[in-house]
Every structure is written in C-alpha cells, then in structure tokens.
Amino acid sequence: MLYRTIAHTVVSAIGLGAMPLSIEHRPDERQAIATVHAALDAGVTLVDTADSYHWHAGEVGHNELLIARALARYGGDTSHVLVATKGGRGRPGDGSWTVTGTPAHLKRAAEASAKRLGVEAIGLYQLHKPDPAVPWAESVGALRELLDAGTIRAAGISNVTTAQIRQAHRILGDGLASVQNQYSPAVRDTEPELRLSEQLGLAFLPWSPLGGISRSSLDGPSGPTSIGTAFHRIAAERGVSPQQVALAWLLARSPAVIPVPGASRPASITDSARAVELTLNERELAELEDGLPS
C-alpha cells in the first residue's frame, strides 16, 4: 500500500467511501461488513462516512454504526484506521438532502457521531456542505470549538470554494486537515481547490472519483456506461480495470490527493486498492489528459 498524510496521521493513499453501504439499494449487512473487511485486508486505513449516509427517515448514523460494527468484528488490529465522518447534512427519507450548518447543530451532530463510532474523539470531522443560510465563519467556528473541546482531533471541509478554504484556514489554522470536493476524470472544475489544498498542506479527498469512468462493473451498472475512453484503452494495455487507471491518474495529480472510491462489494474495493500498484508513465498521462473533457 502507498501511504499519504492527513494532518499528522498517515493513511492509505486509497480510502473506502462507505456511503453505498447505507443509502438506496444498499447491500445486506453481511455483504456490507465483508466489504469493509476486504478494504482492511487490502491495506486501506481510511474509511469515509457521514451521519447522513442512510436511506430511510429515522436512520441517522446508519453508516457510522455499520462501520463501528465492522471494525469491532474484524479479526485484526484496527487501531491505525482513521474513520473520517461528516456532519451538516440530513436525509428526510424521500431521497432529498438537506443542509444545516448552525453551530448548535454541528456540535450536537459531532457528539452524536463520536458516540455512534464508539470513540472519545473523532479522528477527522468534516463539515459536509456550506449552509447558505448560515455565515460560513459561524459554521467553521463550530469546528474550532469542537477542536478546542477535544471532541474531534482534526477538521475538514467539503464542497467548498477557494475563498471558503482560505477563510476556514484562517479560523482553524493547523486544525484544518482536509478538503473533500468532487473531482474525477469527468469533473475537474475543482482544480483550483485542489491546488490551494496542496499549497496549504491539506489533504484533498476527491469524492465520486470514478466519474466519467462509471463505478466498477463489479458493483453493477451505475448510470450510463462509458467505454472506449483513454482510461479504458490504457486499462486494456495494462491488463487492469479502468477504475484502477482512473485512481492511479488521480494519485498522480498531486501528493495531496487521497481518493475515496465507494464500494458495495468486497471485490470492488479490493480492485480499487490495487491502484496504488499502478504507476502511469508520461505517455499514458499525456494520453489521458488529451482525452479528458475540456
């Protein structure tokens, strides 16, 4: 496994995005826990969750509780695993997502997440999305209070602009550890946020990192299937999956990048984790760049 750093914590360069294990069309618990265990077996030491990763109303924290059970049932040592969770979004149960960034809500949510995860302090707590109804400085200030109280060890922000990153960095200082924005072969409009994160020494965790490639066929269809891209051609040449090529491309973008691909089957995360074994050469990187949407 290749390793990278979030704040002062060393983690695997590929994380597990646990959302598919709890939202619509989720697998049964046996398969879900087997997926987490397969990630750990493959050397993954970063698990990304959120209190809003659930399907039905009244299930707040479903994914966090699932991750806690999976870690407790794993036969090996899990003390080195960083569980990163998020707060500030909700799911009423009708398929929609809400945003609540008030300091009072975020502090209550973090305390509840720590309890569900069974930890004294959350390793990385991320503000899931800016709330347009709440001043950004107030939401980020809640993270500062959580850091000072010892409820969380490091703070992250998600779905943010460069201006919001800079303001959060001024408020949190070294307490700010990461930025999690959408970034993939199909979605690169957060390139400025990636470069700023790199400049500030923050980890950049792309969510939905396989956009434009489609989720692994091992998970079944997920929207339109993309075929015939440079990622698929290089995958065929190398004898690997297009998903591995996409993740290797992301890792090559910056040493700050730590992709967190989602998975709902053990085979999917096992395949994704193997992307660290793939080093793309200059010709391949140039071919991939030429084939990307402008």
* Residues written for the chain: 294
**Cα–Cα distance between 179 and 181 in angstroms, integer?**
6
Alpha carbon 145 to chain centroid distance? 23
Q: How many CA atoms lie within 13 A of 292 on its CB side?
A: 19
Residues 53, 74, 125, 183: which is the catalytic one?
53
DSSP 201: T
**Cα–Cα distance between 45 and 82 in angstroms, integer?**
6
Tokens of 157: 């922000």
Please report, for residues 81, 90, 153, 161, the alpha-carbon distance to residue 125 in angstroms, rounded to integers and kept in the order given.
14, 16, 8, 18
CA dihedral of 95, 129, 216, 249, whole degrees rounded to 10: 160
* Closest-CA residue to 203 (of 171, 170, 165): 165
Residue with the two structure tokens 């509840």: 112
Phi first, then psi: what are they for 275, rounded to 5°?
A: -60, -25
Active site residue 53: yes
Phi first, then psi: what are they for 177, rounded to 5°?
A: -115, -25
Residues β-bridged to residue 178 = 156, 203
Degrees to nearest 5, angle at CA 123 with 203 and 67? 105
**Cα–Cα distance between 280 and 101 in angstroms, integer?**
40
- Catalytically active residues are 53
